[in-house]
Amino acid sequence: MNAWTAHQRKDYGALSTALCLCACAAGLFGENLVQRGYRRDRAVLAHIAMPPGATTRHVARAVVASERVVARKLDRLTDDGLSMLVTDGATAGLRSYRLAS
């Protein structure tokens, strides 16, 4: 609204301020999406640290996420060397993980 009013009054200072505020808001929204993923990664790591050999299904229930999302996160954390696969179940939900040494 501020940008429209500034454009009508030919106030280019207010127009540039309004556009800058829009760009900043978009950047903060994107940062929030990135941080949400990091928070869930930390929750997954914290959960597999407590009971050694936690299964994907138990972690998913604890962090309130789908098994598919948690399985992807655990696979990525294993690839990064932060977690280790303890037992390889027939399905992703039955695999168990622990923190890497």
3-state secondary structure of 55: strand
56 versus 8: the higher-pLDDT residue is 56
Which alpha helices (H) appear in the chain, and where do they start and end? 2-9, 12-49, 56-63, 67-79
Distance, CA of 48 to CA of 50 (rounded, Å): 6
Q: What is the pLDDT of residue 49?
A: 85
pTM for the predicted model, two decimal places: 0.62
Answer yes or no: is pLDDT of 44 > 70: yes
